[in-house]
Amino acid sequence: MIVAFLSAKPLFAQTSSLSVIVSDEAGAQIQNAVVRITKPNGSSSNCVFSEDRYVCPKIDVYPFVLEIRAAGFASFRQNYNRPETVADPLRITLKVGTFDIEIPSIVIGRIENRAGDTPQSVAIVDRDDIGSTAAPTLDDALRQIAGFSTFRRSSSKNANPTTQGVSLRGVGGSGASRTAVIFDGIMLNDPFGGWVQWNRIPPIAVERVEVLRGGASNLYGSSSLGGAVQVVPRSVGEGSVFSGELYGGSERTFSGSAYAGRSFGQWSTDAFAYVFRTKGHIPVDVAERGEIDTHAGVKAFSLSPRIIGRVGKTANFFVRPSYFGENRENGTPLQTNDTHSRQIIVGGSFSPGSIKENLPELSFNWNVYAGSQIYDQAFTSVNASRSSETLTRLQRSPAQTTGFSFAATASFTHHTVLAGFEGRNIRGASDEIAFAAGEPSGYFGSGGRETSFGFFIKDQAFVGKRLVITGSVRYDRWNNHRGISATRPVSESAINAINYPDRVESMTSPQVSVLFRFSEAVSIYGSASRSFRAPTLNELYRGFRVGNVVTNANENLRAERANNIETGVSVAGRRYFLRVNGYLTDIDGTVSNVTISSAPTLIVRLRQNAGQTRTKGIEADLETRLGPLSINIGYLYADPSIKSFPTNTDLIGKMIPQVARHQATLQLTFQRERWKAASQIRSSSKQFDDDLNDLSLEAYGQADIMIERHIGNSSKIFLAVENIFNTRYSVGRTPVRTINQPTNIRLGYRFDLQK
């Protein structure tokens, strides 16, 4: 594919393009605007100012959206459905208005929409924001959003992937994500365990990330009990693009990534490749460290090409295969894990516009996908002095998944209606060898299948110029079947097997919301919804061990079900944008890791459905610009507690584990000519690592900084420093205290060539 890319035509050959002239009401040209073209598949491309106009990529697929933003002017946004409506050049006049600091178009609601017209809490991190952080991985870059967290304050650079489930708004963290993470229309959540392999997606291949905080099961079904994260991939558009990044740093950190693409008439192709490795740090606190404690690091590789074909001017299709491999060391010589996964996605869209006059504009999107994965994990027991470890279990967890999705959108004058359905089949198992005194003692096998189907419909209505009403509902039905658990001692040939009964569950997830604009500057909204998360095959059938904590599976788990209420207000001024939201989330049947027994050398926990947990709180976001300085402030207050637990009343009133009451973030970005400096600061109050609230993780703060220098028009060098003050804080207690990474320094080079 790379040879074809380089040899088909001269690299970056010029193509015809659309041009836009932007001026104010007095006729003076505006040269500092952001002009963006968004195509039906959601891909966006910025137009480049040249002489007296903005030059945009060639448009040969309709409809497309033109968006223009400039400081001090009201935003412009318009759909162009047919070629005859597009003049060249397009002449656009901006009116004086409030400072529109939002990215105007988002797709996380499955309907392309202005962020300001979305009656829910949405945070957006675009490619510039990601490139301005010192964080090398996508999950760490998203920590600049208050309320975004993973299990045990961990990072994908150093922690086991089974801890990388996403939690939003303090609904409770666990290995299984309570937030759906979507990339290119497909769930990135692990089909077997629900966690997220963040190293599958290099930051260089991301156009932007949209984070919907609050229940999203009405659109995405299970895994979106607490929200959804839409990772929008970069797209080549028209012409050619070739971007790369290379860096190295402390802890033997090295990474190389590239994104390349080119269009060939009705065809285009792009691809990303990513290598990331770090030796990591020794996670066990110095005061408790022993002879066996070593570094926790990772070696990861990801590759994903994509081929896109266009059929006429209204349809396109794509094929994206991908491969991901990862090897991890988890802090002792014997504790390792490996992941190898393969996936292929075939999808497309069709936008015929209006078939007849007075009929709505129509568009259709579809995809089918299949994937397989093998996850290997070694578990050990460590003695009290941490001078030796003993292998206790070798585990292999193979999983396969297939699925499909279809959605249709009809746009009326004041309504946009979305309807669709999707299904998925997952097969997963856990095959284990148990060890006693260093020798195999028995064989264990467990697993099952899950088949799910969902149907959803959504209506977004614009009532006049001030009121937006959105209603949606989704019905999901899933069944767990062929569940089995089998054991056999090494010394015997007889197998003891338990066949679990098949079971079926269903859930209806409604959502209704209202947004009212008092003016162009002030709006309020309210929203109510129900959401859910079905237990993963991992929670049902696979146990695990972290340090001296053993967590057992529970085949009797039922789905978590949440009731969500929120309201908020947003205020836009000429130099700032402020949004404040209040929310309440009650979850029935929360899946919790409940302590069954506790001893100095071994803590045993069992996954159980709690009675009810409640999280209520306030979140606030402020963004402002003072000349070359941009300031972003985020704050989340969460009051998490266990309201009822019939089988364990001692837990009532306890704080939900892995949730802090206070989280705050601050981003400062200063740009002047060829220099850019950016700092990210985040802090969190105390939280607990266990259900009994005995193992606390103290409050912490961390500051990062990135300095960048442009070289020419397409290259830059950068210096990134994570944890510049070398603060050391607890990441987990198992019950051994593990800590965060020390100061980490990286020096790198980036380039971005486009034509």
CB 479 within 8 A of CB 505: yes
Superfamily per CATH, domain 1-97: Immunoglobulins (2.60.40.10)
Q: Determine what percent of the chain is predicted with pLDDT higher than 70.
A: 93
pLDDT for the residue 164 = 86
Q: Is the pLDDT of residue 5 over 70?
A: no
Angle at 607 between CA 606 and CA 613, to 5 degrees: 125
pLDDT in tens, 70-95: 766 777 878 777 676 677 788 898 87
Residue of 360 and 752 predicted with greater confidence: 752
Q: Is the pLDDT reported for residue 739 higher than 60?
A: yes
Yes or no: say if 397 and 542 are a contact pair by the CB < 8 Å rule. yes
Please give the pLDDT value at position 279.
Answer: 95
What type of residue sits at position 9? K
> How does pLDDT run across 654-665, given as a tens digit for each residue?
998 889 999 999
Confidence tier at 103 by pLDDT (50, 70, 90): very low
Give the number of residues written for the chain.
755
Whether the per-residue pLDDT at 488 is higher than 70: the answer is: yes
For the chain, give the mean pLDDT. 87
In this prediction, residues 406-414 reach a mean pLDDT of 87
| Predicted pLDDT at 100 | 44
Lowest mean pLDDT among 57-61, 611-615, 648-652: 57-61
- The backbone torsions φ and ψ at residue 218, rounded to the nearest 5 degrees and listed phi first, read -60, -20
Cα–Cα distance between 253 and 278 in angstroms, integer?
4
The 10 Å CB-count burial string (b at 16+, else e) for 519-532 is eeeebebebbbbbb
The predicted model gives 564-589 an average pLDDT of: 91
Do 210 and 107 form a contact (C-beta atoms < 8 A)? yes
Can you give the pLDDT at residue 162?
Answer: 84
Check residue 314 and give its pLDDT: 81
Give the pLDDT mean for 642-656.
88
- Which are the contacts of 667, defined by CB distance < 8 A and separation ≥ 6? 129, 132, 144, 630, 631, 632, 633, 678, 679, 680, 681
Kindly state the average pLDDT of the residues 469-493: 93
In the chain, CATH 2.60.40.10 covers 1-97
CA distance 288 to 441: 31
Q: What are the structure tokens assigned to 212, written together?
A: 């919907």
pLDDT at 11: 37
**Tens-place pLDDT, residues 291-338:** 999 999 999 999 999 999 988 778 889 999 999 999 999 999 999 999
* Euclidean distance between CA atoms 369 and 344, whole angstroms: 6
Cis peptide before 89 (omega within 30 of 0): yes
pLDDT of residue 14: 37
Q: ∠ CA 273-275-276 to the nearest 5 degrees?
A: 140
Name the CATH topology of 210-754. Answer: Maltoporin; Chain A (2.40.170)
Instruction: State if pTM tops 0.75.
Output: yes
Q: Identify the CA nearest to 108 among candidates 211, 178, 205.
A: 211
Express each pLDDT in 514-570 by its tens digit. 999 898 789 999 999 999 999 998 889 887 777 678 888 888 999 999 999 999 999
In this predicted model, which residue has the larger pLDDT, 480 or 52?
480
- In this prediction, residue 63 carries a pLDDT of 73
Task: Name the segment(s) of the chain with CATH classification 2.40.170.20.
Answer: 210-754
Q: How confident is the model at residue 717 (pLDDT cuts 50, 70, 90)?
A: very high
